[in-house]
């Protein structure tokens, strides 16, 4: 099987300029990213766990306070930071839990490899359901009702990740703003790609097993479809997305637009061989289809990846590991390799 032949059979819309692709993605799938707050301030509770990681790093709890017109919204995140005067690359991890470390985030291993790690729990921002009256959703949609192109939950979680980046900008002596990486798994991998696509402050967007409506092409998928995801999680998206249920050929986009919108920065996609619902082949094909948007494209053989392989030398990276749907240490190691190759 040649990837180039399979890609031609998918009959994808041609890439266009970044601004046009982002307008389409927001109008047709994720909804319009809410505006930046009028004011953002931060409260920092320093060194919340004494001798964190054996005293090698400090763990701070930061609360973000946002003013939006006459309304206010706050949420917390954690920052695992070195305090040695060095300016380091950093991850902003959109996580399922507020635990530090976490089973999806080996914090000590990441900091031992020279990174600072900022993380927040996505449900501290907006609930993972159809309720648009609470949390950040309640700020923008007080009656819980949305217009067809208004933000879904993915866009709200991305908005919060960008507020964490606002704090990072205040720490430029410790956080290397040229090497900020946003990452997430599954639905939060979709969110990480959308975050990086809409905010050029991020150097790298990393999606782990994000599948349908994330890094996997919708056309020709053998995994989750638009029908499947809209039946179970319509609130992740804008309401217009439902018109593409069983209607993928008429989408004016596919998921290569999302990856391509990160150009000319860097994007990386991680897949798992047994995660057939996310369709690893369609994720690799999306990387290939997005490649023309990047100066150094996607460098891989003209065939599907084998489990254990990684293609990291281009501006778009991809790896396929053994195993199932999970954010593992293997994924973090591949991501760190990609970051080091693109310092």
Q: Which residues are catalytic?
A: 186, 325
Cβ pair 207, 215 in contact under 8 A: yes
**Cα-flanking dihedrals φ and ψ of residue 210, to 5°?**
-85, -25
> CB–CB of 338/296 below 8 Å?
no
Please name which of 105, 123, 135, 120 lies closest in space to residue 62, comparing C-alpha atoms. Answer: 120
User: Do the Cβ atoms of 65 and 139 come closer than 8 Å?
Assistant: no
Strands laid side by side in the 266-272 sheet: 39-45, 58-68, 71-81, 116-121, 88-95, 175-185, 204-208, 266-272, 316-321, 310-311
Among candidate residues 299, 310, 305, 314, the one with its CA nearest the CA of residue 335: 310
Cα separation, 59 vs 110, whole angstroms: 13
- What gap in Å lies between CA 255 and CA 145, rounded to an integer? 27
Angle at CA of residue 192, ends 48 and 44, nearest 5°:
20
Q: Render 46-96 in DSSP notation, one character per residue.
A: --SSTTGGGGTSEEEEEEEEEEETTEEEEEEEEEEE--SS--EEEEEEEES
Residue that has been written with the tokens 């254990």 in this structure: 308
């Amino acid at each position: 099987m040649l990837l180039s032949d399979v890609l031609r059979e998918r009959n994808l819309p041609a890439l266009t300029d970044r601004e046009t692709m982002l307008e389409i993605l927001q109008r047709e799938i994720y909804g319009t990213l809410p505006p930046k707050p009028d004011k953002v301030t931060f409260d920092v509770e320093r060194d919340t766990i004494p001798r964190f990681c054996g005293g090698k790093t400090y763990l701070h709890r930061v609360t973000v306070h946002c003013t939006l017109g006459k309304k206010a919204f706050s949420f917390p995140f954690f920052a695992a930071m070195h305090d040695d005067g060095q300016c380091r690359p950093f991850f902003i991890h959109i996580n399922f839990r507020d635990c530090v470390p976490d089973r999806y985030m080996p914090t000590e291993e990441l900091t031992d490899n020279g990174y600072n790690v900022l993380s927040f729990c996505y449900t501290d921002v907006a609930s993972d359901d159809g309720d648009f009256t609470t949390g950040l959703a309640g700020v923008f949609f007080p009656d819980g009702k949305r217009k067809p192109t208004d933000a879904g939950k993915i866009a709200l979680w991305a908005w919060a990740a960008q507020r964490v980046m606002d704090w990072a900008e205040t720490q430029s002596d410790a956080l290397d703003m040229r090497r900020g990486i946003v990452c997430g798994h599954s639905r939060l991998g979709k969110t990480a790609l959308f975050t990086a696509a809409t905010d050029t402050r991020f150097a790298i967007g990393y999606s782990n097993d994000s599948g349908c409506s994330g890094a996997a092409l919708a056309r020709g998928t053998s995994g989750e479809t638009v029908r499947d995801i809209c039946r179970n999680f319509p609130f992740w998206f804008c309401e217009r997305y439902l018109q593409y249920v069983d209607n993928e050929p008429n989408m004016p986009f596919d998921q290569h637009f999302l990856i391509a919108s990160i150009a000319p920065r860097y994007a990386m996609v991680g897949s798992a061989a047994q995660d057939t619902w996310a369709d690893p082949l369609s994720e690799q094909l999306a990387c290939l289809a997005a490649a023309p948007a990047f100066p150094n494209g996607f460098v891989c053989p003209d065939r599907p990846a084998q489990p254990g392989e990684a293609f990291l030398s281009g501006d778009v990276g991809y790896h396929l590991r053994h195993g199932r749907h999970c954010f593992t240490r293997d994924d973090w190691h591949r991501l760190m390799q990609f970051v080091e190759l693109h310092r």
